[in-house]
Amino acid sequence: MKIGVPKEIKNNESRVGMTPAGVLELTKRGYKVFVQSTAGDNSGFLDEDYSASGAELLPTIEDLYAKSDMIVKVKEPIEKEYPLIKEDQVIFTYFHFASNRELTEAMINSKSVCIAYETVQESSGALPLLTPMSEVAGRMAIQQGAKYLEKPVKGKGLLLGGVPGVRPGKVLILGAGTVGIQAAKMAAGLGAQVTIMDVNMDRLRHVNDIMPSHVVTEFSNEYNIRKHLRTHDLVIGAVLNTGAKAPKLITRNMLKEMEPGTVIVDVAVDQGGCIETSRPTSHEDPIYIIDDVVHYCVANMPGAVPHTSTLALTNVTLPYVLKLASGWEAACSEDAILSKGLNIVKGKIVYEAIAEAFGWEE
């Protein structure tokens, strides 16, 4: 099996699908690995590091696709890549087909085998190849929130951790899943007072068990959220109802109850956001202000820390790459978790929710 790692060409994508550590694991098992020159530069992995691990560097993306049996990358292929994908080639990456008809049709026509990171799923329902990005976003939410609380960037001018004799900041976290727990951990570490809310009592029990006493759990409902908006300095949106748009937990009217300079970081913006006034922003222009409340709504937060994000992602993808390297059919029949990643196989949609999304019969 020949495995290819292209340079990502989607706008603003700096991650790479494999690190030199992954190349080493594959080459020592006898597999051939091609890496496109400079593919890892933006994540801090240089061509010479890949070569030293046994990769063969190829100068062009065309060459890389032509020579590889399996492509391991990060983002869905974009239009320029469609004609490069060959029949029977395995493509292992994030696809998010249900929101992209053009991509779905292109992959059906390519007759390739598309295995999507985002649908690899454990029997518990957990999505192990999405979790690391939520972990990055959750931790980053507090870093960004703390920054935008500073006066020169329109915040209320408050140091989240306080100082002796001055109260620390108060952080309200909506959702106690992966993002919410990581955010709570970072905020607590800075010395902030944290309130974390969820509708799932098991989640709240878990948080209550593992967090220090300055992280307080509360059931999520409109009454409780309103009560806390008046007193909290930073609000993190971290809710998810799998497969659905995020519920709007803070309405435009409720912004008036918040103090000027309060910051909202709506991590859930990629699912529509849990604040009525959220709209996606970019790392180049991350914030906007409504009713004196700063909104930070970057839809791809992990993209700002590609070194960390690449390592976190490839830590969890590599074990599956190693399985797929010996043949996708055997790997998927032996591994029920991995087989959930099969989305399109040789011209046929094999993942029900994708066919349903377009109203197509399987």
Residues that bind ligand NAD (CB under 6 A): 133-134, 137, 174-180, 197-200, 203, 220, 238-241, 246-247, 249, 267-271, 299-302
Round to whole Å and give the CA distance between 113 and 166.
Answer: 58
Closest residue by beta carbon to ligand NAD: 177
Q: Give the residue with the Cβ less far from ligand NAD, 251 or 333.
A: 251
Query: Which residue, 249 or 332, is less far from ligand NAD as judged by CB?
Result: 249
Q: What size, in residues, is the chain?
A: 362
**Of residues 305, 6, 16, 293, the one with CA closest to residue 143:** 305
- With tokens 């915040």, the residue in question is 155
**Enclosing H/E stretch for 309:** helix 306-324
Tell me how far, at minimum, the Cβ of 47 lies from ligand NAD, in Å.
29
Residue 226: CB minimum distance to ligand NAD, A: 13
283 is catalytic: no
CB of 27 to ligand NAD, least distance (A): 32
Q: Residues 69, 96, 232, 233: which is the catalytic one?
A: 96
Q: How far is the CB of 270 from ligand NAD (least distance, A)?
A: 5
Q: How far is the CB of 277 from ligand NAD (least distance, A)?
A: 16
- CA-CA-CA-CA torsion sign (16, 17, 23, 25): positive
What is the distance between the alpha carbons of residues 302 and 309, in angstroms, rounded to a whole number? 6
Q: Alpha-carbon distance 40 to 335, whole Å? A: 29
Burial class (CB in 10 A: 0-12, 13-18, 19+), 320: buried
**C-beta of 156 vs 203, nearer to ligand NAD:** 203
Nearer to ligand NAD, 268 or 325 (CB): 268
CA distance 232 to 149: 12
CA distance 77 to 176: 33
* Beta strand extents in 155-214 (DSSP E only): 170-174, 193-198
Q: Residue 259 in contact with residue 289, Cβ under 8 Å?
A: no
In the residue annotation, 233 being an active-site residue is answered as: no
Q: Given the structure tokens 């989640």, which residue do they identify?
A: 203
Output b/e per residue, 4-37; b: 16+ Cβ within 10 A. Answer: bbbbbeeeebbbbbbbbebbbbbbeeebbbbbbe
Q: Exactly one of 198, 233, 266, 270 is catalytic; name it.
A: 270
Q: How far is the CB of 187 from ligand NAD (least distance, A)?
A: 15
Q: Kindly tell me which of 55 and 294 has the beta carbon lying closer to ligand NAD.
A: 294
Helix, strand, or coil here: 208?
helix
Distance CA(95)–CA(98), nearest Å, equals: 9
Angle between helices 201-210 and 178-190 (to 10 degrees): 30
Closer CB to ligand NAD, 44 or 177, in the complex: 177
Could you tell me the smallest distance in angstroms from the CB atom of residue 8 to ligand NAD? Answer: 16
Nearer to ligand NAD, 103 or 274 (CB): 274
Residues serving a catalytic function are: 96, 270
